[in-house]
Amino acid sequence: PALLQVREKYQGRFEIGHDLMVINIGDDISVRPAVISDKPWPVRPSGEFTTAPGH
């Protein structure tokens, strides 16, 4: 039903988004899944960041 409602107003290209979807818009439009790491950066307690790095 939602797709039919979109088509009532718009006949151009569209994508139904999903988790980790990336849409690049420039001269061309590309749609791809996001590239994620299985080794995320460590999460630190907020108290460790009282000043900017190097200060």
For the segment 1-55, what is each residue's pLDDT rounded down to a tens digit?
677 888 888 888 877 777 888 888 899 989 899 888 888 777 777 666 666 666 6
Our count of domains for the chain comes to: 1
Tokens 């994508």 identify what position?
A: 15
The pLDDT value recorded for residue 27 is 92
CA torsion sign, 37 to 38 to 39 to 44?
positive
pTM for the whole structure = 0.41
Note the residue count of the chain. Answer: 55
Give the model's pLDDT for residue 36.
Answer: 82
Cα Rg of the chain (Å, integer): 20
Considering the domain boundaries, does residue 19 fall inside one? yes
- 16 contact partners, CB below 8 Å, separation of at least 6: 3
Q: What's the confidence (pLDDT) of residue 39?
A: 82
Q: Is residue 46 part of a domain?
A: no
For residue 8, tell me if it sits in a domain. Answer: yes
Question: What local confidence, expressed as pLDDT, does residue 14 receive?
Answer: 79
Domain range for 17 is: 1-33
